[in-house]
Amino acid sequence: MPHMTDDEFAPLFLEMGLGVDLVGEDMTKAACRAAREAIGRTSLPGITRLLPDGDRQHMQVRVTVAVPRPQEVDRAAVAAEFPYGQVQVTATPGGMRAPNGTDYGPGQDHLIIAVAVVAVGAPPENA
């Protein structure tokens, strides 16, 4: 089943998360942590009634992560945080880069904060 277009996608559920990489300025690590936090306390037991054949692999998952350097996010690694569904990851400029209080040197003396929004939907009935 192909991914839905933006016009077809109507989320049933939204969750937000925040992730931090304290040392190393790793955009992917912070993004994965934000995605994991967004889904960490979530359960959608009834969603199977909305999916073809009750199969969670048909669930549509849209993940948007905001980090200071979005081009450095490994989108496949972020998608791998999700156990089910057809996952699309978009990285966008945002989040925060701030001094981490150490003097470890360039590339390690700032922390990275990522924010994520996870939207979950079901495929259209005619799909």
Cα distance between residue 7 and residue 93, in whole Å: 23
Cβ burial, residue 53 (10 Å; 0-12/13-18/19+): exposed
Q: Supply angle C-alpha 14, 78, 88, rounded to 5.
A: 60
19-48 tens-digit pLDDT: 999 998 999 999 999 999 999 988 888 888
Enter the CATH code of domain 13-121: 3.30.1330.20
Per-residue pLDDT at 1: 47
Average pLDDT (47-53) is 81
Average pLDDT (7-16) is 85
54-106 tens-digit pLDDT: 788 888 899 999 999 999 999 999 999 999 999 999 999 999 999 988 877 77
